[in-house]
């Protein structure tokens, strides 16, 4: 037996392919940790901002750890995104607040047969059950990154509904869902 | 024939976030027998609502849960209501002495007791509002005294209303004792209610004494008669699908709705397949019906999916005492294929294979309760547990890798155990801190129906009803000896410094667990083990020699040095005895192994769950 640094099941990723990553697939292939090699600049490109939050959301869903640094002030209200993996400590606006508020299980959803259960304790504790057939059918479109001007009316209606509850993030024409799907329960299982 | 009006009642301290399974089952049974209703009275919810309203929220659902979950072994829940049943001051002094002597925090129980009289009266009136002919109480654990108090009040207000008690607390001699000591209870149903309760209702309807209904206690004049129990347990095909509609409707309109996250409670089996052959010596949980019966897999899947869809609830508590081994291949894969975000609880036997643990995880089982009980092979043998220490640690390791919350207790106090059974465990606890610790280390209790109770020669010859019942029942000891479930007896097994050291080790384990990981990674170059356990130096180990990599894989099963060499030889690999021994010593020194006799188990997990400090 030798003692040495491990390479571990982690991967370093540069900025070029960042928003194309599929954390769920990466996790299923054995990856447990993703290190973003370059600081992430947010606030300059609406579509990138939304796609980046989707990446964080999907990583949280499977507990794929993401190590990232903010390269700019954060263009999101930390209270809105505090359930997602925060950046490393840094002087940028919003970073400290995001890190302070963050913990596991603050805002997630679960799928069932013909319904969705949402739990949002980012601020006060809220539980929702979504069982409207059309809303449930539109849900996956918002789980992806939706371009709202081209979206179907039902998707836009659902987006407005969720926006009122601070459950989607919208940047310009782009939107995606904020709660992550609870694919892995924590230990203890009833702590969230 | 006049149709009977029936009300089924569950009193405190039934869990708030689950419907009552007995009420759900009997509701279906009554409906299937063509009876209207029956009404359900959720006395547990009503009590929590009542406390909440009367105290302006000062005594809330969390206080209820505190008593319900932690008061059982002190009889706290029963004590809250005992003044209504036995007179206002009954049990006050005895209870005060008891909590002082045992340094127990009774929580809000003393405050709650002040509201018990008013609530019992209200509950009786609410039940009678629908003018039932028969009121049936289901009673398990701390539901006896609250049920008896309401039954007595019902009899006072409406003497013609028939009162019936059933449930786990009525099994065997306990039910007979309840019946002969509380005259306001007309009938007691002993054993499984699905067949007995309808037969009793039929007899009541016919106006005949239930002389031929198995297990029922009834009165001939003033004399309490206890019919012999059923000899054959209910076949699984006759266990009905529970009807929880009423409970979900109640909860939806309850002021506590926002505080309670509803869950489903289901059973896929009754009895214990292990206990049929080798009942664990301390366990009385299956009462007088040990025979294992499981529902056909198709039915279990349909029942679970049907109730999930009906009640839009994804949390499911399976109350089976042990999962049917066939379910790992016949039920769990079907649940996994649904891709629903279920959160299921199951009790399992501790000797799970990795494939079984993976099947649980994939089916969205999030919480298991394996009967680990001890990390000493000799003590496990004494209790006839059917697993050894290595297997138990292996299960803890693999459940951790699979992100399964694992609840278990470390029990001691078995006749014949010795200090030397425990010191090797205590010495090795620091190496286990990355695995989930026991909820507690505690001495075993003497439970009715357990081998320790039924066979005094196992070491617990002297026994008396547990002291807690002195503040619960105003009855003589000879009656309590038949009525209660827990008994005081002479302490057996270890005592003194080894007990203190065991408690200290478990306490340290609990403290260190959250920040401890020990993970192994596979790569084409070999195996890496990253050690980040609290109390150990931060180290990254690599094993690159193909022979040692193969040996490490054998260690993950748990093997002796000789068995490892034999297996390597089978794989066409060779290692000398001294080299293997030296390598094992090296791993052992680094705390990477659990030792049991001449066998070793690799301790590193393959993954780390998201841990939340609570």
A29 inside 8 A of chain B by CB: no
d(CA B580, CA B7): 70
d(CA B319, CA B296): 16
Name the closest residue on chain A to residue B261, using Cα atoms.
Answer: A127
Query: What are the tokens at A88?
Result: 């490393």
d(CA A91, CA A85): 17
Q: Write down the H helix ranges in B172-296.
A: 173-181, 193-206, 245-252, 273-278
With an 8 Å Cβ cutoff, the interface of chain B facing chain A consists of: 258, 261, 305, 308-309, 312, 314, 338-341, 343, 345, 364, 366-367, 400, 403-405, 436, 521, 523, 528, 530, 539-544, 548, 583, 586-587, 590, 607, 609-612, 614
| Contact call for residues B600 and B555 (beta carbons, < 8 A) | yes
Let me know the angle formed at the C-alpha of B328 by B242 and B299, rounded to the nearest 5 degrees.
30
B133: CB partners within 8 A, 6+ apart: B4, B5, B6, B161, B162, B204
A11 inside 8 A of chain B by CB: no
Q: Number of residue pairs across A and B with CB atoms under 8 Å?
A: 107
pLDDT of res. A6 = 44
Which chain B residues have a beta carbon less than 8 Å from that of A125? 258
Which chain B residues have a beta carbon less than 8 Å from that of A104? 610, 612
A24 inside 8 A of chain B by CB: no
Which chain A residues have a beta carbon less than 8 Å from that of B540? 3-6
Name the closest residue on chain B to residue A180, using Cα atoms.
Answer: B341
| Contact call for residues A130 and B313 (beta carbons, < 8 A) | no
A164 inside 8 A of chain B by CB: no
Q: Cβ–Cβ of B312/A117 closer than 8 Å?
A: yes
Q: Cβ–Cβ of B312/A192 closer than 8 Å?
A: no
A191 inside 8 A of chain B by CB: yes
A147 inside 8 A of chain B by CB: no
Distance from CA of A3 to the nearest CA of B (A): 4
- Specify the length of chain A in residues: 192
| Contact call for residues B500 and B419 (beta carbons, < 8 A) | no
Give the CA count within 13 Å in the CB-facing half-sphere of B576.
3
pLDDT of res. B286 = 66
User: Positive or negative CA dihedral for B18, B21, B22, B25?
Assistant: positive
A140 inside 8 A of chain B by CB: no
At B515, is the secondary structure helix, strand, or coil? coil
pLDDT of res. B288 = 64
Give me the average pLDDT of each 10-residue run along chain B (614 residues): 86 97 97 92 98 97 95 96 97 96 93 98 98 97 98 98 97 97 98 93 96 96 93 85 97 94 94 81 75 92 98 96 92 96 92 95 96 96 93 98 97 96 98 97 94 92 96 97 96 96 98 97 92 97 97 98 97 96 98 97 97 90
Distance from CA of B6 to the nearest CA of A (A): 34
Q: Cβ–Cβ of A184/B540 closer than 8 Å?
A: no
Distance from CA of A80 to the nearest CA of B (A): 21
Radius of gyration of chain B (CA): 26
d(CA B344, CA B342): 6
A65 inside 8 A of chain B by CB: no
Q: Kindly report the backbone phi and psi dihedral angles of residue A40, in degrees, each rounded to the nearest multiple of 5, phi listed first.
A: -95, 120
Kindly compute the dihedral angle of the four CA atoms of residues B320, B324, B328, B329, in this order, to the nearest 10 degrees: -140
Peptide bond just before B195 cis, omega within 30 deg: no
| Contact call for residues B40 and B69 (beta carbons, < 8 A) | no
A102 inside 8 A of chain B by CB: no
d(CA B556, CA A104): 31
A114 inside 8 A of chain B by CB: yes
Distance from CA of B285 to the nearest CA of A (A): 24
Name the closest residue on chain B to residue A4, using Cα atoms.
Answer: B540
Query: What are the tokens at B189?
Result: 């149903």
At A112, is the secondary structure helix, strand, or coil? strand
Name the closest residue on chain B to residue A3, using Cα atoms.
Answer: B541
Which DSSP letter does residue B596 get?
A: E
Pairing of strands B6-10, B39-42: parallel
Q: Cβ–Cβ of B308/A9 closer than 8 Å?
A: no
Q: Cβ–Cβ of B405/A190 closer than 8 Å?
A: yes
Name the closest residue on chain A to residue B306, using Cα atoms.
Answer: A113
Of A104, A114, A129, which is closest to B610 when you measure between CB atoms?
A104
Which chain B residues have a beta carbon less than 8 Å from that of A4? 540, 542
Q: Cβ–Cβ of B523/A113 closer than 8 Å?
A: no
Place of tokens 């990138």: A48
Kindly compute the dihedral angle of the four CA atoms of residues A144, A149, A152, A155, in this order, to the nearest 10 degrees: 50
Q: Cβ–Cβ of B609/A183 closer than 8 Å?
A: no
d(CA B85, CA B82): 5
Give the CA count within 13 Å in the CB-facing half-sphere of B287.
19
Mean pLDDT of the A140-167 span: 96
Q: What is the predicted ipTM? A: 0.93
Name the closest residue on chain A to residue B368, using Cα atoms.
Answer: A189
pLDDT of res. A2 = 46
Q: Cβ–Cβ of B403/A185 closer than 8 Å?
A: yes
Mean pLDDT of the A89-114 span: 96
CA separation (Å) from B587 to B77, B435, B484, B548, B563? 50, 18, 50, 11, 17
| Contact call for residues B376 and B422 (beta carbons, < 8 A) | yes
B186: nearest Cα among B132, B125, B136, B144: B136
Q: Is pLDDT of A14 > 80?
A: no
Place of tokens 């509803």: B262
Q: Cβ–Cβ of B612/A192 closer than 8 Å?
A: yes
Which chain B residues have a beta carbon less than 8 Å from that of A114? 309
């Amino acid at each position: 037996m030798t003692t040495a640094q491990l390479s571990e099941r982690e991967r370093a990723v540069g900025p070029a392919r960042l928003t194309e990553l599929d954390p769920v697939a990466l996790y299923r292939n054995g990856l447990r940790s993703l290190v973003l090699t370059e600081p992430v600049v947010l606030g300059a490109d609406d579509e990138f901002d939304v796609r980046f939050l989707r990446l964080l959301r999907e990583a949280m869903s499977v507990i794929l750890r993401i190590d990232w640094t903010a390269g700019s002030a954060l263009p999101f209200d930390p209270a809105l995104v505090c359930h997602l993996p925060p950046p490393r400590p840094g002087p940028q606006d919003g970073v400290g607040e995001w890190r302070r508020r963050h913990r596991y299980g603050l805002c997630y959803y679960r799928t069932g047969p013909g319904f969705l259960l949402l739990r949002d304790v980012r601020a006060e504790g809220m539980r929702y059950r979504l069982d409207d057939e059309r809303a449930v059918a539109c849900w996956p479109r918002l789980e992806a990154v939706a371009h709202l001007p081209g979206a179907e009316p039902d998707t836009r209606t659902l987006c407005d509904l969720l926006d009122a509850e601070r459950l989607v993030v919208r940047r310009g024409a782009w939107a995606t869902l904020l709660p992550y799907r609870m694919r892995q329960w924590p230990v203890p299982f009833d702590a969230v | 024939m006049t149709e009977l009006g029936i009300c089924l009642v569950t009193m405190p301290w039934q869990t708030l976030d689950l419907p009552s399974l007995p009420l759900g089952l009997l509701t279906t049974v009554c409906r299937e027998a063509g009876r209207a209703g029956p009404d359900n009275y959720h006395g547990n919810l009503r009590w929590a609502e009542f406390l909440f309203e009367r105290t302006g929220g000062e005594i809330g659902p969390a206080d209820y849960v505190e008593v319900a979950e932690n008061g059982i072994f002190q009889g706290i829940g029963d004590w809250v209501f005992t003044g209504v049943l036995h007179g206002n001051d009954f049990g006050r002094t005895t209870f005060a002495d008891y909590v002082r002597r045992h340094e127990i925090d009774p929580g809000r129980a003393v405050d709650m007791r002040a509201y018990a009289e008013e609530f019992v009266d209200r509950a009786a009136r609410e039940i009678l509002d629908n003018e039932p002919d028969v009121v049936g109480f289901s009673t398990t654990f701390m539901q006896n005294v609250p049920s008896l108090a309401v039954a007595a009040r019902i009899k006072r207000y409406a003497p013609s209303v028939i009162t019936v008690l059933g449930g786990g607390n009525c099994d065997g001699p306990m039910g007979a004792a309840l019946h002969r000591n509380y005259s306001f209870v007309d009938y007691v149903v002993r054993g499984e209610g699905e067949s007995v309760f309808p037969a009793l209702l039929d007899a009541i309807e016919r106006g005949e004494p239930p002389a031929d209904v198995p297990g029922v206690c009834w009165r001939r004049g003033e004399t309490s008669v206890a019919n012999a129990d059923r000899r054959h347990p209910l076949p699984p095909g006759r266990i009905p699908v529970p009807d929880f509609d009423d409970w979900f409707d109640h909860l939806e309109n309850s002021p506590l709705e926002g505080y309670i996250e509803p869950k489903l409670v289901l059973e896929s089996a009754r009895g214990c397949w292990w206990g049929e052959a080798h009942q664990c010596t301390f366990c009385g949980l299956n009462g007088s019906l040990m025979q294992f019966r499981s529902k056909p897999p198709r039915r279990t899947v349909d029942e679970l999916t049907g109730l999930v869809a009906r009640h839009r609830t994804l949390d499911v508590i399976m109350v089976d005492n042990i999962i049917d081994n066939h379910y790992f291949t016949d039920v769990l894969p079907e649940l996994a294929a649904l891709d629903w975000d279920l959160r299921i609880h199951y009790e399992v036997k501790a000797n799970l294979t990795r494939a079984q643990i993976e099947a649980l995880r994939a089916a969205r089982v999030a919480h298991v309760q394996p009967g680990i009980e001890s990390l000493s092979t000799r003590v496990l043998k004494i209790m006839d547990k059917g697993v050894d220490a290595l297997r138990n640690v292996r299960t803890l390791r693999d459940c951790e890798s699979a992100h399964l919350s694992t609840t278990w207790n470390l029990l001691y106090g078995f006749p014949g155990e010795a200090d030397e059974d425990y010191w090797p465990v205590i010495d090795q606890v620091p190496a286990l801190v990355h695995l989930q610790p026991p909820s507690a280390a505690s001495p075993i209790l003497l439970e009715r129906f357990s081998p320790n109770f039924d066979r005094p020669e196992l070491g617990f010859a002297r026994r008396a009803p547990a002291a807690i019942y002195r503040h619960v029942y105003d009855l003589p000891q000879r009656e309590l000896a038949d009525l209660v479930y827990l008994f005081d007896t002479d302490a057996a097994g270890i005592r003194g410094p080894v007990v203190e050291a065991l408690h200290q080790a478990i306490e340290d384990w609990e403290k260190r667990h959250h920040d401890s990981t020990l993970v192994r990674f596979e790569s084409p170059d070999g195996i890496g083990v990253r050690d980040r356990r609290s109390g150990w130096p931060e180290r990254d180990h690599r094993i690159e020699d193909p022979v040692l990599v193969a040996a490490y894989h054998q260690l993950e099963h748990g093997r002796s040095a000789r068995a490892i060499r034999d297996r390597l030889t089978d794989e066409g690999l060779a290692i000398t005895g001294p080299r293997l021994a030296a390598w094992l010593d090296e791993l052992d020194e680094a705390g990477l192994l659990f030792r049991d006799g001449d066998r070793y188990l690799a301790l590193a997990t393959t993954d780390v769950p998201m841990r939340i400090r609570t």
